[in-house]
Amino acid sequence: MNVLEVAGLNVSVRDTTLVSDVDLTVGPGERVGLIGESGSGKSLTALSILGLLPEDVVPSGSVRLSGVDHDLIGADERALSRIRGRDLAMVFQEPMTALNPTMRIGDQIAETMLIHHTHPTRSAARAAAADLLDRVQLPADLLRAYPHQLSGGQRQRVVLAIALSNDPALLICDEPTTALDVTVQALVLDLIVQGVVARSSALLFITHDLAVVATVCERVLVMYGGRVVESGPVHEVFTNPRHRYTQGLLAASNLEAAGSRLTTIPGTVPAAGHFPSGCVFRNRCAHATDLCATTPAWSGTSTTGYACHHPAGAPHA
């Protein structure tokens, strides 16, 4: 059973169709990327799943979430607000819009758990909030801070802590690092992956940055002109794109540059080989093209490198 099943999704405004016939599934714990140029329909697809489209924008088709016995398309706001923040969580590009400027950070994290009754008491929710803040590598004294006292990267880590607070079945991220300083982008990506892996949550990750998809996702869908034009495992789509648009996207991307930045690990790779920081194209090694592409069990990240579980002793060069 998939965590998310989108079937025949159309999105239109008045007589203009903006998203056409999108089918999309995300399995339990799977990390799926949605890429495409600006205006290709990625955000409208995400907002349709979340039930957050503007009033004049109308979705049709079906969006099913595991454990929820009704279609999310056409569901009323009360039903959707029970699901959002509990089964289905989101991180958008601009963290300030997701935070309440007048509320302390600790209270905002605790509130999500109290609203959904996932912690029985205020003190239990506060303790869980402190733990969540620690897991996004922020100091405990920020629990009493207000959003304006934090940097953009810190705010986005708070938004992530809130999104993960109820162990969602699915986390949707829409360009979560685009507005951040490059120095903190990698850390926020690491924390997103660590967060979903630790909870076995599935991830739908929207970006126009192919190198980020290569780092974060296992499968990718390519959107163009409101349609999904290609999909498949990341290493397949990125090494052997079939659609002309995907080929163009790859040619214009920074993936080659990212690949050429790989540092070669000499000799044989241990059971858990570590890719150095900056290795944004984990599906390919500088000397052994398919070594990582065939690995089924890539897991976990750190700020210093990406861990990739190879067969012990596999030749690297």
Ligand X SMILES: Nc1ncnc2c1ncn2[C@@H]1O[C@H](COP(=O)(O)OP(=O)(O)OP(=O)(O)O)[C@@H](O)[C@H]1O
Angle at 286 between CA 277 and CA 233, to 5 degrees: 85
CB of 188: closest distance to ligand X in angstroms? 18
CB 21 within 8 A of CB 8: yes
Subset of residues 172 to 211 that bind ligand X, contact rule: CB under 6 A? 208
78: tokens are 């009360």
Kindly state whether residue 40 participates in binding ligand X, applying the rule CB under 6 A: yes
Q: Tell me, what DSSP letter sits at residue 310?
A: P
Dihedrals φ, ψ of 205, to 5°?
-115, 115
Kindly state whether residue 42 participates in binding ligand X, applying the rule CB under 6 A: yes
Q: How many residues bind ligand X (CB under 6 A)?
A: 13
Kindly state whether residue 36 participates in binding ligand X, applying the rule CB under 6 A: yes
Kindly state whether residue 259 participates in binding ligand X, applying the rule CB under 6 A: no
CB of 216: closest distance to ligand X in angstroms? 17
Round to whole Å and give the CA distance between 299 and 297. 6
Report the residue from 43, 185, 231, 253 that binds ligand X according to the rule CB under 6 A.
43
CB atoms within 10 A of CB 174: 20
CB of 206: closest distance to ligand X in angstroms? 7
Round to whole Å and give the CA distance between 62 and 83. 16
* Category of 245 on φ-ψ map: left (φ > 0), alpha (ψ -120 to 50) or beta: alpha
Residue whose CB is less far from ligand X, 41 or 85: 41
Round to whole Å and give the CA distance between 177 and 188. 7
Report the residue from 54, 101, 266, 296 that binds ligand X according to the rule CB under 6 A.
54
Report the residue from 4, 6, 18, 90 that binds ligand X according to the rule CB under 6 A.
18
Which one of the spans 36-44, 133-141, 182-190, 231-239 is the region binding ligand X (CB under 6 A)?
A: 36-44
Round to whole Å and give the CA distance between 193 and 198. 8
Kindly state whether residue 293 participates in binding ligand X, applying the rule CB under 6 A: no
Kindly state whether residue 55 participates in binding ligand X, applying the rule CB under 6 A: no
CB 268 within 8 A of CB 314: yes
83: tokens are 């699901």
Residue whose CB is less far from ligand X, 24 or 132: 24
Angle at 21 between CA 63 and CA 222, to 5 degrees: 95
CB 229 within 8 A of CB 209: no
Report the residue from 1, 15, 38, 78 that binds ligand X according to the rule CB under 6 A.
38
Kindly state whether residue 13 participates in binding ligand X, applying the rule CB under 6 A: yes
Kindly state whether residue 58 participates in binding ligand X, applying the rule CB under 6 A: no
Which one of the spans 39-47, 120-128, 161-169, 181-189 is the region binding ligand X (CB under 6 A)?
A: 39-47
Distances (CA, A) of 264 to 261, 276, 294: 9, 9, 18
Kindly state whether residue 102 participates in binding ligand X, applying the rule CB under 6 A: no
CB of 89: closest distance to ligand X in angstroms? 19
Which residues of this protein are in contact with ligand X, per CB under 6 A?
13, 18, 36, 38-44, 54, 57, 208
